[in-house]
């Protein structure tokens, strides 16, 4: 079986993608994943979003292990 | 390292004034406390492009949010001599005028309670993966971004 990753999206990003949760083919890094998502959903270029790999917020390009959970996080607005 | 228990902070729906009152009352038997500080966040009916916000619908990435909150809690307890700290954040649709955030810190002397309370509120707004969807009176919406 080919390696996969789990994507979980929130807020405006989930709205653009039209899905909150999905599984996709493995991507080697967060930059590669972002590029792929922007190709698939050009509307994403209009929103800011950060990524978390296995619940850890990442600030620069980070490697992605097979089966990782990647969260797509638009700017926080709680409280 | 000892793993701290992860406490839930999220409650579905608005935070009732009676809930806050009961929480205050629970502290009357902790007689070493000399000061409480409370922050209440209330949903504001902002006017945006001529549209009035009637509610904010909150969602969260709960696993990440509770992990982050545990980390914030540990850092705050390490920094300030607090007796206790309680935090509640609403999820779901909260109407304008209703309470959506309740932060309650207690200490022997006032400075620790007030400083810790202020710092926790700022950290919740900046660091917790929570999103507010502003619902207008005509049922259109936009995603909120926190400002000072």
Write out pLDDT tens, residues A8-43: 999 999 999 998 999 999 999 999 999 999 999 999
**pLDDT surpassing 80 at residue B3:** no
First-to-final CA distance of chain A: 43
Res B146: pLDDT: 79
Q: Please indicate whether, in this complex, the C-beta atoms of B146 and A76 are within 8 angstroms of each other.
A: yes
The tens digit of pLDDT for each residue in B112-143 reads 999 999 999 999 999 999 999 999 999 999 99
Find which of A58, A68, A79 to mutate to test the B interface (most B CBs within 10 Å of its CB): A79
> What are the pLDDT digits (tens) for B7-39?
999 999 999 999 999 999 999 999 999 999 999
Whether residue B1 lies inside any domain: the answer is no
Distance CA B34, CA B109 (A): 5
- Does B124 contact A12 at a Cβ distance shorter than 8 Å? no
pLDDT in the model for residue A73: 97
Inter-chain CB pairs, A–B, below 8 Å: 64
CA distance B124 to A28: 32
Q: What is the pLDDT of residue B4?
A: 66
Q: A79 and B144: CB-CB below 8 Å? A: no
For residue B5, tell me if it sits in a domain. no
pLDDT tens digits, one per residue of B81-117: 999 999 999 999 999 999 999 999 999 999 999 999 9
**Domain-located, residue B96:** yes
Residue B3 in domain = no
Average pLDDT, chain B: 95
Domain that holds residue B38: 10-24+32-143
- Give chain B's domain count: 1
Are B30 and B114 in contact, with CB atoms under 8 Å apart?
no
Query: Is B108 within 8 Å of chain A by CB?
Result: no
Please state the ipTM of this predicted complex: 0.93
Q: What is the pLDDT of residue B2?
A: 54
In a domain? residue B84: yes
B64 in any annotated domain: yes
Domain at B133, CATH number? 3.90.1170.40
What pLDDT score was predicted for residue A56?
A: 94
Dihedral, CA of residue B104, residue B105, residue B106 and residue B112, to nearest 10: -150
CB contact B145 to A (< 8 Å): yes
Percent of chain B with pLDDT over 70: 97
CB contact (8 A) between residue B101 and residue A78: yes
Does some domain include residue B102?
yes
DSSP 8-state symbol, A29: B
| Closest Cα in chain B, distance from residue A11 (Å) | 6
Residue B2 falls inside a structural domain: no
What string of DSSP letters covers B45-87? --EETTEEEEEEEEEE-HHHHHHHHHHHHHHHHHHS-EEEEEE
- Angle, helices B62-79 vs B110-127, to 10°: value is 150
| CA B107 to the chain's CA centroid | 18
């Amino acid at each position: 079986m080919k390696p996969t990753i789990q994507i979980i999206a929130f807020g405006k990003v989930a709205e653009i993608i039209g899905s909150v949760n999905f599984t996709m083919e493995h991507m080697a890094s967060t930059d590669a994943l972002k590029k792929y998502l922007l190709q698939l959903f050009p509307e994403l270029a209009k929103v800011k979003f950060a990524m978390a790999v296995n619940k850890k917020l990442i600030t620069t390009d980070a490697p992605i292990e097979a089966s990782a959970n990647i969260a797509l996080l638009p700017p926080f607005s709680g409280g | 390292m000892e793993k701290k228990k992860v406490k839930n902070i999220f409650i579905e729906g608005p935070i009732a004034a009676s809930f806050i009152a009961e929480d205050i009352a629970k502290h009357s038997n902790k007689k070493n406390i000399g000061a409480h500080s409370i922050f209440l966040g209330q949903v504001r009916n902002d006017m945006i492009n001529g549209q009035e916000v009637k509610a904010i619908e909150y969602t969260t990435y709960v696993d990440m949010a509770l992990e982050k909150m545990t980390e914030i809690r540990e850092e705050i307890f390490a920094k300030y001599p607090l007796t206790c700290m309680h935090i509640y954040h609403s999820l779901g649709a909260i109407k304008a005028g209703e309470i959506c955030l309740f932060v309650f810190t207690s200490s022997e002397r006032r400075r620790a309670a007030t400083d810790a309370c202020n710092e926790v509120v700022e950290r919740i707004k900046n660091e917790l993966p929570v999103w507010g969807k502003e619902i207008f009176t005509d049922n259109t919406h936009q995603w909120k971004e926190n400002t000072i």
